[in-house]
Amino acid sequence: MQRKSDYSLFSRNDKGLFTFVLVYMGDLLITGSDIMGIDQLKRALHQTLTIKDLGMARYFLGIEITRSTTGTFLNQRKYVLNILSDAGLTAVKPAKFPLPKGLKLSIEKGVLLHDLEPYRRIIGKLLYLTLTRPDVSYVVQHLSQFLQHPMDLYYQRAMHVLRYLKGTPNKGLFYPKSTNFQVVAYTDADWGACQMSSRSLTGYCVFLGDALVSWKTKKQKTIAKSSVKAEYRAMSATTSELDWIAHLLQDLFLPLHLLVMMHCDNSSTAHSREPRLP
């Protein structure tokens, strides 16, 4: 059955035994608790499509999968090394942070690049890297705003991000084998952070037990006239994400423990009686 929460996800429940298929173009990732059902599915697919069974998943769409007795680790080490090799930075000195603290770029500074493709190519690769690297999510969102008119200063900052990756190629996401299914979200807003439009930034991360499962940094669509309004919009965006995660967990036949907790560090928002913004 195709699931509505994600149309690339298919599942089957056979008397409490589950089979899941995740489809991306010509690649299939098959998992579940129904071992016999998985074998039958593979044989049926091979008879119809002539598939190649690669065994246990170790590498899928640039993501390396490492298993241990304590859990599963996802990272994109090979992908990072390829980015550094393409940029000629394999021997560069690593940077300690993705960007200097408090740095905010503006279109009013810098000189327009003559060749725009190198910058755009780097940002495109970094956007895909955020699949397993939430630590660079903010800076990539920041730099991706300037794809139309990239300046030399932005290119230098993109190089700084690559230098940071040089020192942290092995970072990734760990999903412990033993965990609960309590969903907890953390949300925040950076009021008026964009110097070009005065719009605020929404940032959130969602945990399933001890595992980080969702995160995002995104500029808000409208200007917030107070930090309270910016926080409300961030909470609204996080609520939409939590609603999608709840439906996804149902499609995966996993229990959802209510109440779902959302943490916000703005005291004015927590105590305000103002209705939530749409």
d(CA 129, CA 251): 27
Does 28 fall in a domain?
A: yes
11, 249 in Cβ contact below 8 A?
no
Q: Is residue 128 part of a domain?
A: yes
Question: Is 67 a member of any domain?
Answer: no
Whole-prediction pTM: 0.84
Q: Is residue 61 part of a domain?
A: no
Looking at the fold, whether 235 and 262 belong to one and the same domain comes out as yes
Return d(Cα 238, Cα 244) in angstroms, integer.
Answer: 10
Contact in structure between 95 and 160 (CB atoms under 8 Å)? yes
CA distance 216 to 200: 14
**Residue 3: inside a domain:** no
Same domain, 261 and 192: yes
pLDDT at residue 269 in the model:
64
Claim to verify: residue 23 and residue 86 sit in the same structural domain = no
Q: Of 167, 188, 214, at which residue does a domain stop?
A: 167
**253 Rama class: left (phi>0) / alpha (psi -120 to 50) / beta:** left
- Structure-token match 């956007």, residue found: 127
The enclosing H or E element of 215 equals strand 211-219
CATH number at residue 265: 3.30.420.10
pLDDT mean for each 10 residues of the chain (278 residues):
87 89 89 90 88 88 92 95 93 88 67 88 94 92 85 89 95 89 91 81 92 91 88 92 91 82 76 49
- Helix spans in the chain (H): 35-49, 77-87, 117-129, 137-143, 152-167, 227-251, 267-271
The answer on 246 and 186 residing in a single domain is: yes
Give me the number of domains the chain comprises: 3
pLDDT of res. 245: 92
Report phi then psi at 143, rounded to 5: -75, -25
pLDDT at 89: 93
Q: What share of the chain is helix, strand, coil (3-state, %, to 5)?
A: 35, 25, 40
Q: Are residues 201 and 247 in the same domain?
A: yes
The domain in which residue 42 lies consists of 9-55
The reported pLDDT for the residue numbered 54 is 87
Q: Is residue 65 part of a domain?
A: no
Task: Report yes or no on 69 lying in a domain.
Answer: no
Same domain, 98 and 152: yes
Task: Give the model's pLDDT for residue 103.
Answer: 67
Q: Looking at the structure, tell me whether residues 210 and 258 fall in a common domain.
A: yes
Q: Rg of the chain over CA atoms, in angstroms?
A: 21
Asked if residue 174 is part of any domain, the answer here is no
